[in-house]
Structure 1
Amino acid sequence: MTPRVVNITPLLNPYKHLRQVLLPLYFIIPVAYMIDRTQNLEKVVEALPSCRNKDTKDIKVENCVGFIRIPLSLASPLTIHGKSKRTVYGPLATVEPTLVTSCSRGCKAFQAIGGIKVEALSEGLSRAPVFTFRTVDDALRFYHHVPTLQSSFNASVEKTSRYARLVEVAPHVIGRTVHVKFRYTCGATAGQNMVTIATYRACQDFLTSTASKDLGITDFQIEGQFSSDKKLSWGNVKDPRGVEVIAWGSLSDSVCQAILGCDITRLRSVISKFEDDPKLSVSSIACPGFLTNCGFRVVGTAPILSGGIVLDSYVIF
């Protein structure tokens, strides 16, 4: 049957430059709905303070216009043995079949042998401002001077936060620039904004002090990408950006065959392909789904995923 054709040109106003448009009737509702949403969105954008006002310094959260729903799946249960014993259920913000299946089967396999063990090793969050100098000699002079500045940096940091604690400042010279890596602990918070504000305050207090006047500093910026923010990096394996955690467990050949559908030799062969490159690790696929469910922004998951899987074989007599 030939579909009925309807003129929807009136729906396109105020887009009068468009010629007459003829579409099947079953397109009318979707097209009209999209046009209405577009017009409403234009009104919303025009009303945003960042678009309406020239002065934007008082805006705290910019251009937030709503929220979206994300599908949710579960990988569970899994018993965790750490400082306490607890059975947990892992929510994943995805319905991607093989991802959810892989995580669920992994949990089931480890649960069959009693769960896994975990331990938190260290904690830290970094920001690495970069200072530029007239000459390499000036850069080296500042490099040797940085360790003496930690107490004054720490005093500035404590003015900005009740929770941020400056643990270490470590300078690194690259040509006429010195990248100073500030490493913090941030209490129970993730702390990305906290350490940015604290580092900026510490650096500004230093740059406006008399101690900086004769050092030959010609430029400063709050981050020179030395902290590996929002990206995978072996640097985040050496100095964790967040909490460094080790988790381990044992799988028997019988469990692998019954639950995973392969023997232990084949499993080791497959996973060993990912050992040398964290970008290929299954954690880089699964963790964004887990962290998104916890409210963590997806663009910030990359540095958290720096790590890998280490396999070992042994026989229990």
Structure 2
Amino acid sequence: MPVGYVQISVGIAGPLLLDGFEYSVPMATMEGCLIANTNRGCKAIHLSGGATSVLLRDGMTRALVVRFNSAKRASELKFFLEDPENFKTLSIIFNRSSRFARLQGIQCAIAGKNVYIRFTCSTGDAMGMNMVSKGVQNVLDFLQNDFDDMDVIGISEQSSWNEELTFSLKEPNGVLNLEVFDKDLLKTDDKMGHAQLSLQPLVSAARLRQILQNFNGETVLRKVVPDSDNCLVRESSITCVNV
């Protein structure tokens, strides 16, 4: 039943020449400069002969964290979810949420008693976050049969990053404080996480590597596991390269 209407400011950028076809790009925004900048980019792409796109992977993800009373129980869930023989059953349960949602894979990482789980699925022509959320809930309800001691402590649909940070320091002392933000053009940047690194142990390890004349390849100085105080999905490392 129609109850009214909403006026939305929409601008058009383009045409964008992509894969040999021209597309107009509608942008629902009040920021005229954003549309103008996008339009200049489309013009530059068009004058240079157009752009070519390649689809490497198509999927929507949903991440969550569950906690157990022991690391042993956490590992049992990881083994269960990553067992190929169980994937068919989990797919059937997940796919009940929609005619279009199809489970593609499940990734797990353990940090102590916590299990970090990431579901990936195809969602047809829709963005599909509601499909994924319902599918994940179906799987969680099913898992409660064998893992009734599992507590869900966090669910997130935020994007994930796999980036490298390189920096140099004149006086490598004290503690390095890092903060990660999700840059946003239309509102305040969202704080995504933080980390504190004590520099002295890393510097000592790097100097020892130099004394031992181990210059080839990389040396892992520290491993960082995912926990509730950072934004890691899997274990990461701090490496020393050619010091």
TM-score normalised by structure 1 residue count: 0.47
Deviations 1:110-133 (A, max 9, x none): 222222222221111122233221
Q: Decide which of 124, 136, 150 is 2:87's aligned counterpart.
A: 150
- Residues 1:219 and 2:151 are matched in the alignment: yes
Structure 1 residues 103 and 201 mapped into 2: Cα distance closer, same or farther (>3 Å)? same
Q: 2:229 matched to which residue of 1?
A: none
Q: Decide which of 11, 14, 18 is 1:80's aligned counterpart.
A: 18
Native 8 Å contact 1:153 1:203 kept in 2: no
Distance in 1 (CA, whole Å) between partners of 2:68 and 2:25 is: 49
Deviations 1:259-289 (A, max 9, x none): xxxxxxxxxxxxxxxxxx9955xxx549x9x
- Residues 1:190 and 2:127 are matched in the alignment: yes
Q: 2:97 matched to which residue of 1?
A: 160
Q: Decide which of 172, 176, 187 is 2:109's aligned counterpart.
A: 172
Native 8 Å contact 1:126 1:182 kept in 2: yes
Give the number of the structure whose residues are more often helix, by fraction: 1
Native 8 Å contact 1:179 1:224 kept in 2: no
Distance in 2 (CA, whole Å) between partners of 1:110 and 1:152 is: 46
CA RMSD of aligned residues (A): 3.0
Structure 1 outlier segments of 4+, above 3 Å: 64-67, 277-280
- Superposed, 1:1-317 pairs within 5 Å as 67-81=5-19, 85-148=20-83, 149-208=86-145, 211-212=146-147, 217-220=149-152, 223-225=154-156, 229=157, 231-234=158-161, 279-280=182-183, 285=185
Between the two structures, name the one with larger relative contact order (CA 8 Å, sep ≥ 6). Answer: 1
Structure 1 residues 218 and 195 mapped into 2: Cα distance closer, same or farther (>3 Å)? closer
Native 8 Å contact 1:125 1:195 kept in 2: yes
Q: Displacement of 1:165 after TM fit?
A: 1.1
Deviations 1:1-25 (A, max 9, x none): xxxxxxxxxxxxxxxxxxxxxxxxx
SS state at 1:220 partner: strand
Q: Displacement of 1:95 after TM fit?
A: 4.4
Give the number of the structure whose residues are more often strand, by fraction: 2
Unaligned ranges ≥5, structure 1: 1-63, 238-276, 289-317
How many residue pairs align between the two structures? 169
| Identity score, percent | 24
